[in-house]
Amino acid sequence: MSAKTYPETELKKSAKLTAKRFFARKGLLAATHPNYEFRQGQLDMAEAVAAAIEDKRHLIVEAGTGTGKTLAYLVPSILSGKRVLISTGTKTLQEQLYFKDVPFLESAFGQSISACYMKGRGNYLCRQKVYDADREQVLTGMEENREFQIIREWEKTTETGDKAELRDLPEASSAWGKLDARSEYCTGQKCKQFERCFITEMQRKARASNIIIVNHHLFFADLAMRDQAFGSILPEYGAVVFDEAHEIEDVVGQYFGMSVSNLQVQEVIKDVGAISRRKMFATPEIDRSLVQLGECSTYFFSLFPQEGRQGFPDRSGFLEQHETEYNELILALETVTLRLEMVQNAVEDTLPLVRRAKLIQQGLRYWMETTERTNVYWVERRGRGLYLQATPIDVSKTLATRLFDAVDTVVLTSATLTVAGQFEFAQKRLGLENARTLRIESQYDFGQQAVLYVPPHLPDPRQNDFARRAADEIEYVLEASRGRAFVLFTSYQQMRVVYELLRRRLEYPLLMQGEAPRTALIEQFRATPGAVLFGTSSFWQGVDVQGEQLSCVIIDRLPFAVPSDPVIAARSEAIRQDGGNAFYEYQVPQAALALKQGFGRLIRAASDRGVLVLLDNRITKLPYGKVFFDSLPRYRFTSKLEDVRAFFG
């Protein structure tokens, strides 16, 4: 990564504007924002970000809810004169930054800002695929053909090719999956539409922009591929800001690890068969090699455990026992690859297929044969898929060398980065131990706005009668709050059990995760008076419901990760081998941050008020409970249901 500085923007040269002048009590923000209120924490954060970029230092900022952290990092990034990447936790926040915050700042500054946003390739349309589908039999069924008509007409007018523009297209459109611009199907500069390609145009805009808004998945996918010319799509940058930085460790594990599955093999077989017939290069030899590959793959993947998610420590023993089946699968992949490479005058069609087959071979060889001890190796069954996974046990060294040592300034910010007021856990896990730190308390008065209720009489969540007793307690609380609640669980199974116990007993409209897409459920919750939403981890963060509609958040238990999970177990064992205490150094801090995220759903504005309920009273009975209390905002605390009823009047 280049650490070069980019030319100063005209904005900075002409206005001599600074972050301090912008956020001051009588500054530019005060003069232009319709709902302005001075926030000292916002000014402090903006000055810290500006100083970090100017001094080429790294910075970690925990900015409590209501700080206004988006503008606090966006304004100094714009004024810095460097190319700054802003990486968000979700595409929704990306779009808010680009379509809401950047236009507001353009209005405030009185001139345009050199900014763009970039998403993963699967969000963009491939023009060549649309034209091929118009001539060839690619789509199946009336629904796919109906969706194709929508996409084809839109392709004629769209400037971005971004699927988000297609409001009439179903979220899970199968036609889109056959027409998007994913890299495994791309021929790059060999494509006839390369100059008109939406990915090419997106990259052009990025090279011409000072502010580039991405998401964590795109950023780390790109970082992992930067050594490969074909894989990287982000231009060089001098600084990067990570919003929702508490998610980084998990995302890095995905992109600096490895995954290979039976579904990848099946998709290659299907695509080679279909494309070879459409493009008229099918032969009996190719057909036979595909049949052989399918048989070898089915048998090889059937040798692995077929249920759940579990560690796989004895790869060498497995390979010794099943070396014949493994070699036959590798040979079958090589045969298909060779057959495709022998096809004449169809390189545009065969190149992506060859590349995909070779990547599967590389993945299999890595997973089966590598002796590296830096990864945990595990298998997982998801639906029809059997996945062989390798995940880094420790991502800190990767981040230190690939990111923090390579970029002048990295800013990490979130509302949940400290444990018991300290940054040590996040710094150690992410490999950024020498950064500047800043902790900004929330602007909200949690002591007046919220009550934390922990019922003392419930059994340990690990006991068999917990679900029944918890359901009774939830019913009492919801009667007091008149619905208007999120009921959040650490597992799908527990959610379904409690939901079934309550659905005939409660008079409030009940919504449950899985009944509709997440965004649709949230909109339905907002629009339904007294609604109660039952959800799991995906509702613990990134959900913003202001006002009385969400007046209660109930969490079933302290959100400890499952200790038998292969990644958790491997990371815990690594800490123990270094002489540490994995429970207190890893599992408790991780759970404290997760609880902080879950409770963060309730108070989203200065006028919000409500009750937080934790049904797990281990927080009051066991020594580690103090870490959780010290990590949470200063809510009023009670162990009496009568206080909850009094709070709701």
For 140-188, write each residue's pLDDT tens digit.
888 888 888 899 999 999 999 998 888 888 777 888 888 888 877 787 8
Average pLDDT over residues 523-531: 94
Show Cβ contacts of residue 349 under 8 Å, excluding neighbours closer than 6 positions.
275, 279, 281
Of residues 538 and 283, more confidently modeled: 283
CB atoms within 10 A of CB 539: 22
Residue 61 has pLDDT above 90, yes or no: yes
pLDDT digits (tens, 9 = 90+) for 548-569: 999 999 999 999 998 999 999 9
Q: What percent of the chain has pLDDT over 90?
A: 71
Instruction: Please enumerate, as own/partner, the contacts of 372-379 that have beta carbons within 8 Å and a separation of 24 or more.
Output: 375/257, 375/258, 376/311, 376/566, 376/567, 376/569, 376/570, 376/571, 377/311, 377/312, 377/313, 377/315, 378/309, 378/310, 378/311, 378/312, 378/566, 378/567, 379/304, 379/305, 379/309, 379/310, 379/312
In angstroms, the CA 377 to CA 314 distance is: 9
Q: What percent of the chain has pLDDT over 70?
A: 97
In angstroms, the CA 360 to CA 303 distance is: 18
Structure tokens at 592: 């404290």
Quick one: pLDDT at residue 300? Answer: 97
Structure tokens at 474: 């939830």
Quick one: pLDDT at residue 166? Answer: 87
Q: What is the mean pLDDT of the chain?
A: 91
Residue 525 has pLDDT above 60, yes or no: yes
Of residues 386 and 8, more confidently modeled: 386
Whether the CA torsion 133, 134, 140, 146 is positive or negative: it is positive
State residue 457 phi and psi, 5-degree precision. Answer: -95, -5
Residue 611 has pLDDT above 90, yes or no: yes
In angstroms, the CA 163 to CA 178 distance is: 13
In the chain, list all ranges with CATH 1.10.275.40: 258-392
CATH of 258-392, one of 3.40.50.1370, 2.160.10.10, 1.10.275.40, 3.30.565.10: 1.10.275.40
Average pLDDT over residues 413-428: 94
382-396: b (≥16 Cβ within 10 Å) or e: eeeebbbbbbbbbbb
Average pLDDT over residues 605-610: 89
Average pLDDT over residues 210-230: 86
Residue 3 has pLDDT above 60, yes or no: no
**Residue (of 528, 24, 572) closest to 311 by Cα position:** 572
Average pLDDT over residues 579-595: 95
Cα–Cα–Cα angle for 223, 229, 230, rounded to 5 degrees: 95
| Number of residues that make up the chain | 649
In angstroms, the CA 595 to CA 490 distance is: 10
Helix 262-278 and helix 323-341: axis angle, to 10°?
A: 30
Per CATH, which fold does 10-114+209-252+395-440 belong to?
Rossmann fold (3.40.50)
Structure tokens at 430: 């992410």
156, exposed or middle or buried, with CB in 10 Å at 0-12, 13-18, 19+? exposed
In angstroms, the CA 321 to CA 302 distance is: 14
Quick one: pLDDT at residue 403? Answer: 95
Given pLDDT bands bounded at 50, 70 and 90, which one contains residue 398?
very high
CATH class of the 446-647 domain in this structure? alpha beta
Quick one: pLDDT at residue 8? Answer: 42
In angstroms, the CA 260 to CA 361 distance is: 9
Average pLDDT over residues 245-249: 93
Average pLDDT over residues 407-433: 94
Q: How far is CA 407 from the centre of its chain?
A: 22
CB atoms within 10 A of CB 122: 12
Of residues 519 and 7, more confidently modeled: 519
Residue 271 has pLDDT above 60, yes or no: yes
Quick one: pLDDT at residue 326? Answer: 97
Residue 577 has pLDDT above 50, yes or no: yes
Quick one: pLDDT at residue 15? Answer: 52
pLDDT digits (tens, 9 = 90+) for 482-505: 999 999 999 999 999 999 999 999
Quick one: pLDDT at residue 10? Answer: 45
Quick one: pLDDT at residue 14? Answer: 42
In angstroms, the CA 381 to CA 267 distance is: 17
Given pLDDT bands bounded at 50, 70 and 90, which one contains residue 210?
very high
Quick one: pLDDT at residue 158? Answer: 92
Report the range of poorest mean pLDDT among 90-99, 201-210, 235-244.
90-99
Show Cβ contacts of residue 336 under 8 Å, excluding neighbours closer than 6 positions.
268, 272, 286, 289, 290, 293, 357
Quick one: pLDDT at residue 369? Answer: 95
